[in-house]
A and B are shown apart, each in its own frame.
Chain A
Amino acid sequence: MSTSVSWLSIVLFLPLAGAVALQLIPGKARVLIQGWTVAITLATSVIVGLLVLGFNNAAAGGGPLNMRYAENHEWIPAIGASYHVGMDGLAAWMLALNAGVFLLGAIVVSRRETERLRLFCGLLLVTETATAGVILAVDMLMFYVFWEAMLIPLYFLLSNFGEKNRGKATLKFVIYTVAGSLLMLVAIIYLKVHSPTNTFDLEAMLQNPGPAEGAVPFFGGHLLTPQQFAFIAFAAAFAIKLPLVPFHTWLPDLYESCPPAALMFFAGVVSKLGAFGFIRYAITLFPHEAHDYQGVMLTLAVISILYGALMALSETDIKRIVAYSSISHLGFVALGIFSLNSAGINGAIIQMVNHGIIIAGLFLVLGIIEQRTGTRDRHELAGLEKRMPYLYFFFLVITLAGLGMPGMNSFVGEFTIMLGAFQTYWLLAVLAGGGVILACWYMLRLHQGLMHEPLQPRAEQVRDIGVRDGWVLLPLVALMIGLGVYPHPVSDMTRTTAEHYVTLLSPIPVPVQIIQGDVK
């Protein structure tokens, strides 16, 4: 693909432009509205797909992150902020996930049952631009702006289309995440002020690391170095978004009241951005601090794995079960990241994408079940396999992927993550293994509880899924199996990225020895 075209900007702003144009369509033309939204997200997906395919051939940027397709323009020169976007191996897969999940979200939103469809579709497109901006930004101020801008469409989506308790859940989510990201803003400004180039540019900052540790005393001078404070601020923002236990309580409430179509991209992409931030910012900007706090972060990760699994085991609301399972699975991702070795980070990247696929599928299936039976309580549902054999098949594959079945995509990620954790400290892998066993327990409990045993009376008249749902589920399921059977092409790209990030975060830079004249 030619580099003269600003492809990344197109990817970034196409959905936003689509959202603006959408307002010209009359609100009653529901088919047109949805068609337009699908067309825009599809076009974005196609471009992203081509960019990812062409990734290896694209000219590398050569900066510390080796960005491809990079664009760098002035934005607010007075404060050193620039419009700088770029794509590395991490961003490539996140962007692919982003585009795919929003496309599915646009397809599955129910034309008939969504009032104010135009508003919904517009917000969906705006969210896509915001999440894409978070992924593509290389300038930290730009990253921060998109990070916060993401909340605006999400807020309106949730408060307009949510289910019961949406007000409380939305408020909790917004305030919680803003509290975290404001801390991050302080840290970003600190970094900018102390960076030699006095800009917000991430690559410039990585090239010329800021002042040595402990240059400016902070909090009475002895409690924390400013670098440590900045790391904690970043980590707090991402730990809340991810979320890690004990910062997770917004998530089950929110997922419970989130509309099903929005839930797909909410759970599929937005929560992965925390993990993305950890890799892209927290550990690369602060390699020393990442090592200092490795123990704390790994402990939180393991606690998240086990705690999420235990909660999922006793929950009765099927959406909340999946919400807690998501906490457990993202604990795995955090475990991989803070193993701080290439296997762990590679596994984390793979698992981020995999989990996005799985959770989107899971919520889609649960949304269908809820819509057709009218309940989310697993005590009121049983034996649906009899009435819905096709849904059963899809649900089975998704469940197996969710519990980390070997041969499915999540096994690749979890295996690699656990290997990374094992290299750091063997007990972590053992505890994570306990999480796998619990995952098997709660996923089967969910799946069998809904599908097996004698049919409940209220499910007597349930219809099986139709063609449209089938066509949405099929690619997800195909990806789950395909990425499990042949993960090599994907993992090769992510591994290169992971190894690159590991070199960035090695605490003592290995001196490059240039041996002159002794070329063999």
Chain B
Amino acid sequence: MNNEHLIGLLCSLVLLFPLLGSAWNGLVGPVAGRRWVNLVGTASIGAAFLVAFTLLANVMTAPEGEKSLTVSLWQWLNLGPIVNAGQDVAINVDFTIDPLSVLMLMVITGVGFLIHIYSVGYMEHDEDVARFFAYMNFFIFSMVLLVLSADLAILIVGWALVALSSYLLIGFWYQRPSAVVASRKAFITQVIGDVALVLAAFMIVTRLGTLSMPLILANAGEFGHGSAYVTGICVLLAIGAFAKSAQFPLHTWLPDAMEGPTPVSALIHAATMVTAGVYLIARFGPLFGQSPTAQAIVACVGMGTAVMAGIIALSQVDIKRVIAYSTMSQIGLMISAVGLGAYSVGMFHFMTHAIFKALLFMAAGNVIHSLHDEQDIRLMGGLHPRMRWTALWFICGSFALAGAPPFAGWWSKEAMLGFAANAPGALIALFFVGLIVNVLTGIYAFRLYFTVFRGEPQTAKVYAAHEAPKVMLIPVGILGCGAVIAGLIESPVPSFIGNHLWQGISTFLEPVVGHGNEPSEAVAWMALAAGTICSVAGIGAAYSWWEKNRGRASRIAGRLPRLMPVLSFHKFYFDELYDAILVRPVTAFSRAMRRVVEPRGMDGWVRGTAAMFDDLGVGIAERQSGLIRDYATYMLAFAVIGILFVLGLWAK
């Protein structure tokens, strides 16, 4: 892969297609009519997908050792020499094409394309469809910019632009106050992550004198292995990743983000944007490799979020929120995997997750669409005979999510467990927690399926439900097939086709992210077996609690200590907690400042000075009686005082 011009051109194209689509939809779309909007909106992403595919082919056919190429488009900013006697810190609009970025690109444009097609059906009745596609295309542009960028500053730009698109799309129905609040919350949380990334960039640039990512990664050793400085950088990067990927403690925005239209949830809040944190940590793998402390923090936070979100997902009643918490949980697993240095496995799970989670969201979208915006699963039930195809694909997705063999999720999840079982020292606990997450995933995934699709219809709406139109079913079907077979990429099966062309994900990504701490065969098999048993146990439990014996779940919940279901249902009170310790104090403080400090303190001394001179003037004016004799007395008195003063000075 040495044709720099061609690669540069392709990179520009994959960015330009969505950007132009966005501009066209935003500016011309409202007057051009729905058909054109639909066409341009989807075709731009389709074209980007084709370009991405060309790039993939370029990378795959490139000989070993030449799989990575950085092309430079233009200089964005020159900061001058930052490190003493260093070179100028030039921030270039550089793009890296390597296996990692191409994999991301394929998922973003591929899944993105399907979701765009699906949106045509989903947004059929919305009058603002041009704005919708403008935002969606803009999101694809931002996300592509994020993954292609080879400079930390440009990555931050992409990082913030995806947050912007997310904000715009969550608040798409801007007349709903809840959507407005949710979009703002999401954006502000993301900005916290942006600031952390910017600070990390500062720490890097003041030591290395560059922000170019290939150079940073090549010189990651400069900071000193295990030094506090490199840990600081990694923790800041991780905070950025946590904000983007909805990990504890910056996770509360994701469930609220479900206020946006369902295709948005599928695209941004499941498949692509929220996994950018995983990508970031994988990309900065060599840097994280320098700091075992930061890696341990990342692994533990990821796994902790996975368990927490899994528990919350058990009791939520909004269909999209259940899937949102499951997303949070699955990303927790990925974050944990990349924290353990299992980058290729983390990225593999990212890929399978993008497929089956987008599938689940879109299938849920079909349900919501046919029930006229009903999202409460307690009011559903019995949809299976009415929406057979949707139910079929939904169950495929649920199996993949729960990790039943041989669905896509099974391959990636159990591979992650293998790495967890191989973790050093006390981190081995992550393996056992991971098993619990497997059980939880099985339970909540199939709780959702059984409650929504099986049993008796709970409301009259359900009787009127009908299958979704083809334009919505076909993308779901394609992803459904993916959810069944995508995991096979990593299996031994395709290698029979031809070792020469076919590479598993881990081989494909190896030049970028390395092997990691690979488990031995025995450990891997043990983890696989344990993980599979736990997943199947979870599915079985869900079957027995919600399908076979319908009141049983609540009876079991009743037997648990009272606190557990309450905490789960109220999402561990994080929203309330943040409200109480952050939002309210800041607003109250700000209001107090405005009411007290500003008028009395800040303006007070200004007014006080003015008032002092005022009083002085009035005081002097009062001495002016109008009697000439008084004035003469003053004159004389001051003259005498002056003379005495001069005499006093003279006597000295």
- Establish whether A and B are touching in the complex (CB under 8 Å): yes
Chain A residues positioned under 8 Å from B188 (CB to CB): 437, 440-441, 444
Residues of A within 8 A of B80 (CB): 342-343, 346, 495, 498-499
Q: Once bound together, how far apart are the Cα atoms of A488 and B195, in whole Å?
A: 22
Interface-lining segment among A79-87, A146-154, A205-213, A244-252:
A244-252
Q: Is the CB of B184 within 8 A of A453?
A: no
Known: A307-B593, A346-B80, A433-B195. A176 touches B606 (CB 8 A): yes
Q: Which residues of chain A have C-beta atoms less than 8 A from B215's C-beta?
A: none
A61 within 8 A of B: no
Check A453–B180 contact: CB distance below 8 A.
yes
A423 touches B180 (CB 8 A): no
The smallest beta-carbon distance between B407 and chain A, in angstroms, is 39
Q: A310-B590, A423-B206, A444-B188 are in contact. Are A492 and B177 (CB under 8 A)?
A: no
Surface stretch bound by A, among B151-159, B250-258, B271-279, B434-442: B151-159
- A346 CA to B82 CA, complexed, in Å: 12
Q: Is B589 an interface residue (CB 8 A)?
A: yes
- Is there an interface contact between B161 and A491, defined as CB atoms closer than 8 Å? no
A419 and B202 form a contact (CB under 8 A): yes
Q: Verify A487–B184 contact, CB threshold 8 A.
A: no
- Nearest-neighbour CB distance to chain A for B554, whole angstroms, equals 38
Residues of A within 8 A of B175 (CB): 383, 386, 452-455
> Cα distance A451–B593 when bound, in Å?
27
Interface code B65-79, partner A: CB below 8 Å = 1, 0 otherwise? 000000000111111
Is the beta-carbon distance between B590 and A429 smaller than 8 angstroms? no
* Bound form: Cα–Cα A277–B594 in Å: 30
CB of A148, distance to nearest CB on chain B (Å): 20
Q: Taking each of A406, A416, A430, A499, which has the highest tally of chain B beta carbons within 10 Å of its own beta carbon?
A: A406
Say yes or no: is B174 at the interface (Cβ < 8 Å to chain A): yes
Separation of A406 and B602 alpha carbons in the complex (Å)? 33
Provide the bound-state CA to CA distance between A308 and B606, in Å.
18
Q: Which residues of B are found within 8 Å of A419, using beta-carbon distances?
A: 79, 82, 202, 205-206
Q: Is A281 on the interface with B (CB-CB < 8 A)?
A: no
B160 at the interface (CB under 8 A from A): yes
User: Which segment, of A100-108, A119-127, A135-143, A311-319, faces chain B?
Assistant: A311-319
**Interface 9-residue window, one of A44-52, A358-366, A407-415:** A407-415
A313-B586, A437-B188 known; A412+B156 contact, CB < 8 A: no
Residue pair B79, A416 in contact (C-beta under 8 Å):
yes
Residue A486 is within 8 A (CB to CB) of chain B in the complex: yes
Q: Contact: B199 with A492, CB < 8 Å?
A: no
CB pair A488–B77 under 8 Å, yes or no, is: yes
Total interface residues on A, CB under 8 Å, equals 60
Known: A314-B590, A406-B194, A407-B157. A249 touches B199 (CB 8 A): no
* Residue among A314, A416, A451 with the highest chain B CB neighbour number at 10 A: A314
B427 is an interface residue with CB less than 8 A from chain A: no
Those of B182-235 within 8 Å (CB) of chain A: 183-184, 187-188, 191-192, 194-195, 198-199, 202, 205-206
Contact at B76–A444, with CB atoms within 8 Å? no
Interface residues of A: mostly helix, strand, loop or mixed?
helix
**Which residues of the partner chain B approach A488 to less than 8 Å between Cβ atoms?**
74-78
Whether, in the assembled complex, B171 has its beta carbon less than 8 Å from a beta carbon of chain A, the answer is: yes
Closest A-chain residue to B159, C-beta based? A406
Q: Is B587 an interface residue (CB 8 A)?
A: yes
What's the nearest-Cβ distance from chain A to residue B171, in Å? 7
B505: chain A residues within 8 A (beta carbon): none
In the bound complex, how far is the Cα of B163 from the Cα of A444, in angstroms?
A: 13
In this assembly, does B388 line the interface, its C-beta being within 8 Å of a C-beta of chain A? no
Bound Cα distance from A411 to B156, whole angstroms: 10
Minimum CB–CB distance for A498 against chain B, Å? 8
Determine if A412 and B77 form an interchain contact, defined as CB atoms under 8 angstroms apart. yes
Judge whether B198 and A415 touch: CB under 8 Å.
yes
List B contacts of A250 (CB < 8 A). 606
With beta carbons under 8 angstroms apart, the residue of B160, B199, B586, B602 that contacts A248 is B602
Chain A nearest CB from B202 CB (Å) reads: 4
**In this complex, what residue of A is CB-closest to B206?**
A423
With a 10 A CB-CB cut-off, give which of A313, A342, A452 has the most chain B CB atoms. A452
Does any Cβ of B come within 8 Å of A368's Cβ?
Answer: no
Chain A minimum-CB-distance residue to B606: A249
Given known contacts A422-B206, A437-B188, A452 and B78 CB-to-CB distance under 8 angstroms: no
Say yes or no: A440-B191 contact (C-beta < 8 A), given A386-B175, A453-B174, A492-B78: yes
- Chain A positions 165 through 202: 1 when the CB is less than 8 Å from some CB of chain B, otherwise 0: 00000001001100000000000000000000000000
| B180 A437 Cβ-Cβ under 8 A | no
Tell me the residues in window 565-607 of chain B with beta carbons closer than 8 Å to chain A beta carbons.
586-587, 589-591, 593-594, 598, 601-603, 605-606
Do residues B82 and A451 form an inter-chain contact, with CB atoms below 8 A? no
Q: Give CA–CA (A309, B188) in the complex, Å.
A: 14
What per-residue 1/0 map shows which CB atoms of B597-641 lie under 8 Å from chain A?
010011101100010000000000000000000000000000000
- Nearest chain A residue, comparing its CB with the CB of B26: A393
For residue B35, give the distance in angstroms from its CB to the closest CB of chain A: 21
User: Which chain A residues numbered 354 to 394 have a C-beta less than 8 Å away from chain B?
Assistant: 383, 385-386, 389, 393
Using a CB-CB cutoff of 8 Å, which residues 49-93 of chain B contact chain A? 74-80, 82
Contact A433 B180 (CB under 8 A): no
> CA A389 – CA B30 in complex, angstroms?
11
Interface: A445 (CB within 8 A): yes
List, sorted by A's number, 12 A–B pairs whose CB atoms are closer than 8 Å: A245-B602, A311-B590, A313-B587, A314-B590, A342-B80, A406-B160, A416-B77, A419-B205, A433-B199, A451-B174, A452-B180, A492-B78
Additional A-B contact list (13), CB under 8 Å, known A405-B161, A406-B160, A453-B177: A246-B602, A249-B602, A249-B603, A315-B594, A386-B175, A406-B156, A406-B161, A406-B194, A416-B77, A419-B82, A448-B183, A488-B76, A492-B78
Residues of A participating in the B interface, judged by any CB pair closer than 8 Å: 172, 175-176, 245-246, 248-250, 307, 310-311, 313-315, 342-343, 346, 383, 385-386, 389, 393, 400, 403, 405-407, 411-412, 415-416, 418-419, 422-423, 426, 429-430, 433-434, 436-437, 440-441, 444-445, 448, 451-455, 486-488, 491-492, 495, 498-499
